[in-house]
Structure 1
Amino acid sequence: MTYFYARTIEGDFEAVVERTRAALQKHGFGVLTEIDVQATLKAKIGEDFRPYRILGACNPVMAHEALKMESHVGVMLPCNVVVQQTDGGVEVFAVDPAASMSAIENAGLLRHAQTVGEHLRAAVAEV
């Protein structure tokens, strides 16, 4: 089982970040956090790195349902979606929540994570 959904597209990096935000929003996800890994590595350790952005996406209704099923599931939230520049274009990939939630012995939570994953997969496909 893979632990992420991905696709690579052509386009300007920042434009793809914005398209990713729009696709997530269409599927009920907001971006709670944004980490510019390239800028952080440059500022903290002086290293150059490719454009790499981590978006912490959250669908509040789905997160609430997960938290009702498992009080400690918050350590796995929000769902990370990454946009990175590669030699072949701009790659967009999102965590498969079912892969990470399978570590928790809760069948209901796993089914819920699969539903969340369907929405994330659809958002990645639409970017």
Structure 2
Amino acid sequence: MGITVWCLSMTANATATSSGLKLTLVKESPYDFEETLESLRNTIHAHNFRVFPDRYLEEGLTDELSVNTKQVSVRFCNFSDLHEALQIEPQVGVLLPCTITVIEDAAGKVTLVTGNVKAMLTLFDNPRLTAAFKDLEGKYQAIIDEVTL
């Protein structure tokens, strides 16, 4: 429970970048946890990304029996987009793979949390990278919108 409160607190109060952008995108799901998680995986696949095995948010931070199974990070990648980005800016690898986390709080509210691609790109100050990732920004938003319709 502690990491959930911290995560939601951090996202609710996420500081902005120097350009005024929030560092995270947070959207509530109208569906239950399992339905949201399954829909997220399917939607990511539909947008031509490869989905890696899920990870519990607390995995490795606590013993296996204490891990909150209602906090799951779904990691994914489009390898052609990745290759293009690394050719432009090798340091972009610190932001990969793409991740959207699904969190259910004690009241049963399900939330999707992800990094704001536009805000993350300000860290690199590379117009070519920003242009290349414009499509990724749209894909992230489309995925989140489709999952929460």
TM over 0.5: yes
Aligned residues: 126
1:47 Cα offset (Å): 5.0
Structure-2 separation of matches of 1:85 and 1:19: 15
TM-score (norm 2): 0.73
Q: Which stretch of structure 1 is more off in the superposition, 15-24 or 2-11? A: 2-11
Deviations 1:37-67 (A, max 9, x none): 25655526x7564711111121212111101
Long gaps (5+) in structure 2: 1-20
Match of 1:118 among 135, 138, 146: 138
Q: Could you tell me which residue of structure 2 aligns to residue 72 of structure 1?
A: 91
Structure-2 separation of matches of 1:6 and 1:88: 16
| Identity across the alignment (%) | 25
The secondary structure found in structure 2 opposite 1:72 is helix
Long gaps (5+) in structure 1: none
Q: AA paired with 2:86?
A: L
Q: Which stretch of structure 1 is more off in the superposition, 117-126 or 96-105? A: 96-105
Structure-2 separation of matches of 1:39 and 1:16: 20
Structure-2 separation of matches of 1:48 and 1:71: 34
TM-score (norm 1): 0.84
Q: Could you tell me which residue of structure 1 aligns to residue 123 of structure 2?
A: 103
The secondary structure found in structure 2 opposite 1:112 is helix
* 1:31/1:57 contact within 8 Å kept: yes
Q: Give runs of ≥4 in structure 1 deviating > 3 Å.
A: 38-42, 46-50
